[in-house]
Structure 1
Amino acid sequence: MTNEDLFIHTIAPVTHDLGGFKVHRTLPSKPRTMVGPFIFFDQMGPAILDAGTGIDVRPHPHINLATVTYLFAGAIDHRDSLGTNARIEPGAVNLMTAGHGIVHSERSPADERAHGPELSGIQTWLALPDGAEDIDPAFEHVTRDDLPVVEDECAKARVIMGSLWGRRAPTTTYADTVYADIQLAAGGAIPIDADAEERAIYVGVGEATLDGLTLEPMTLYVLRPGTAATLRSDSGARVMLCGGEAFATPRHVWWNFVSSSRDRINQAKEDWKAGRFPKVPGDDKEFIPIPEVPKTVSYP
């Protein structure tokens, strides 16, 4: 089987150095804006930050999307304008639904900073479907013990969202969504089924092949619809599988705003500049100003 048989897009990351750690971004990109509802895909780290420091993502707004935070290592304290104060740790999932507007911050926990906090994981955004973009904001934390795991001696897959390998995650979905964390030991293998309309594979750690084709690390491979394949690793790997239903209506991205309407994004820009978004209780002294030229944009 050739690359053309398996993949319709191969997306190399754009890497941003945020001081102390790097993020590797594959969505949105020039080749492709979305895979199913996934419209943003970032790998954070892996990194060990200097003792006494940590990540401090100051309060900032979102509209018309849901953020999904999933960690391999470390911890993050999440606060938002709903009054949520929640810590996420490896194997759990934080789902924050922005809807018509939410503000949140993400910071290293105080008790992690003294020894130098670890940071490694994936943050994604899901576009909300037509008719649900401006729903009420919400927050949901699903513990690692509540996410189903499929495993054998050399493969372990945690289903983060949707249904895979006969198991369904309890995490809320607004459109048909599949999302999984696959850990392969040396010699491990797992089938990648063809059920979802759109799917992508991403090797975060280690080495892996799909039907014998080598997958480059930190690269998003968008699979050809209807193609089933087998994921393998000779020496061990951590691989993310994501996708779901194809959106009929295009989505636009500008900074932290996602919408089917450019006018809605422009209104969100003005609302943030004018201070019309709600504050984050317990973290209302700082905020991220709107950029003149954002790093995250969609491509027509």
Structure 2
Amino acid sequence: MFRKLHEQRLIRIKKENYSMSNTKLIIEERAANIGNFIVGRLLPFRQKRMVGPFIFIDHMGPVSMNNKENLDIAMHPHIGISTLTFLFEGAILHRDSLGTEIEITPGAVNWMTAGKGVVHTERTPEHLRNSTKKLHGLQIWVALPIEEEQCEPSFAHASASELPSWEYEGIHFKLIAGKAFGKQSPIPVYSPLYFIEIKSDEEKTVSIGEHLFGESALYILEGSITSDGHTYEAKQLLVAKDSTLCAFTISENSTIYIFGGEPFSEERFIEWNFVASDKKLIEQAKENWEKDKFPSVPNETVKIPLPEPKRFGG
């Protein structure tokens, strides 16, 4: 159905000359299947499982759907993370076991904290189901600190107008989540992090390392950047060696995302939709899902079965 969404990409890592570049790894976006959808997967990766607390990133689309094609991801559970959905085009109807029902639109942020367990669905809204439409965006998982892994689930939503946005020397900035540049997003995060959008209509020099901390990565959605004589293109994820040295030239008509934060001292394990610092929590979540011990989503009846054991990435 969505076979043309992404051409299959080979996984490639370039080891840069450390004396010339602050880039530690270059991760190529690569195709991955999630149910009836194909996405470009960025994290986790074999050589880099997390960047700060960010443990999972999918690039959805862009895809065009006809009047018979719709996004329909049935009930599925999460533990140990907050999910962040950020759309560039289209709309998704989000329903969850907390009773939330909200339409996600471009520029808005959906932030669902799973904690000890939450269930949700993602579907094309009813008013778009019989029409042609597009869908394009990012799906992100942020791992919770160990003291919050088993917290009560919660949900937060911020409209596009609520996110801090500003312009500096012709460059457009938006703080989607976390704290940076002396600003704070209204999204209630659980550890020190940042997720920043940067757009430029013209070629500009960007130097923002003093505003970042912890681990840092840069994803090029469109356009390109140049750093220390190296040019990087769209659909590449660059993992920095040192977040304080984040300086580069952004080309005209480019959009990039910078994300990261303080890494956790404990390892995180990931299996299917479950993330935890203790594998026993994942095994318990798998058992609970199979035995229908998770809460259900109002007005939903179909659940995605537990798949055969498989780890993301690599």
- TM > 0.5 between the two? yes
Check the 8 A contact 1:185/1:233 in 2, yes or no.
no
Structure 1: where are the runs of 5+ without partners?
Answer: none
Q: Secondary structure at the match of 1:265?
A: helix
**In the alignment, residue 192 of structure 1 is paired with which amino acid?**
I
Alignment of 1:101-250 (within 5 A): 101-152=117-168, 154-194=170-210, 195-250=212-267
Q: Secondary structure at the match of 1:29?
A: coil
Check the 8 A contact 1:205/1:217 in 2, yes or no.
yes
Q: Report deviation, 1:211.
A: 4.8
The answer for the alignment partner of 2:312 in structure 1 is: 297
Q: Report deviation, 1:126.
A: 0.5
The answer for the alignment partner of 1:89 in structure 2 is: 105
Greater Cα offset, 243-252 or 285-294: 285-294
Q: Deviations over 1:195-220 (max 9, x none)?
A: 31100000112222235431232222
Q: Report deviation, 1:49.
A: 1.3
Greater Cα offset, 181-190 or 16-25: 16-25
Q: Secondary structure at the match of 1:162?
A: strand
- Of the three residues 7, 18, 22, the one matched with 2:38 is 22
Instruction: Summarize the Cα distance change of 1:215–1:73 in structure 2 as closer, same or farther, 3 Å threshold.
Output: same
Q: Secondary structure at the match of 2:288?
A: helix
Under a length normalisation based on structure 1, what TM-score does the superposition of the two structures give? 0.92
Q: Report deviation, 1:160.
A: 0.7
Q: Report deviation, 1:27.
A: 0.9
Alpha-carbon distance in 2 for matches of 1:95, 1:137: 11
Alpha-carbon distance in 1 for matches of 2:192, 2:118: 23
The answer for the alignment partner of 1:31 in structure 2 is: 47
Alpha-carbon distance in 1 for matches of 2:299, 2:225: 43
The answer for the alignment partner of 1:41 in structure 2 is: 57
- Of the three residues 273, 292, 298, the one matched with 1:275 is 292
Q: Report deviation, 1:297.
A: 2.8
Check the 8 A contact 1:27/1:34 in 2, yes or no.
yes
Q: Secondary structure at the match of 1:131?
A: helix
Check the 8 A contact 2:224/2:254 in 1, yes or no.
yes
Check the 8 A contact 1:254/1:298 in 2, yes or no.
no
Q: Deviations over 1:13-67 (max 9, x none)?
A: 3312569863111111100111010000111111111223211111100001100
Check the 8 A contact 1:192/1:231 in 2, yes or no.
no
The answer for the alignment partner of 1:66 in structure 2 is: 82
Alpha-carbon distance in 1 for matches of 2:228, 2:201: 17
Q: Deviations over 1:117-158 (max 9, x none)?
A: 211111110000021100000000011111001214642111
Over the matched positions of the two proteins, sequence identity in percent amounts to 38
Q: Secondary structure at the match of 1:24?
A: strand
Check the 8 A contact 2:223/2:233 in 1, yes or no.
no
Instruction: Summarize the Cα distance change of 1:168–1:287 in structure 2 as closer, same or farther, 3 Å threshold.
Output: same
Q: Report deviation, 1:274.
A: 0.8
Check the 8 A contact 2:202/2:253 in 1, yes or no.
yes
1:7 equivalent to 2:26? Answer: no
Greater Cα offset, 203-212 or 243-252: 203-212
Check the 8 A contact 2:216/2:243 in 1, yes or no.
no
Alpha-carbon distance in 2 for matches of 1:153, 1:21: 39
**In the alignment, residue 124 of structure 1 is paired with which amino acid?**
I
**In the alignment, residue 236 of structure 2 is paired with which amino acid?**
T
The answer for the alignment partner of 2:274 in structure 1 is: 257
**In the alignment, residue 214 of structure 2 is paired with which amino acid?**
E
Alpha-carbon distance in 2 for matches of 1:209, 1:108: 38
Check the 8 A contact 1:38/1:126 in 2, yes or no.
yes
- Of the three residues 274, 286, 298, the one matched with 2:302 is 286
Q: Report deviation, 1:245.
A: 0.4
Alpha-carbon distance in 2 for matches of 1:210, 1:83: 46
Q: Report deviation, 1:189.
A: 4.1
Instruction: Summarize the Cα distance change of 1:36–1:59 in structure 2 as closer, same or farther, 3 Å threshold.
Output: same
Check the 8 A contact 1:67/1:126 in 2, yes or no.
yes
Alpha-carbon distance in 1 for matches of 2:36, 2:303: 20
Instruction: Summarize the Cα distance change of 1:258–1:182 in structure 2 as closer, same or farther, 3 Å threshold.
Output: same
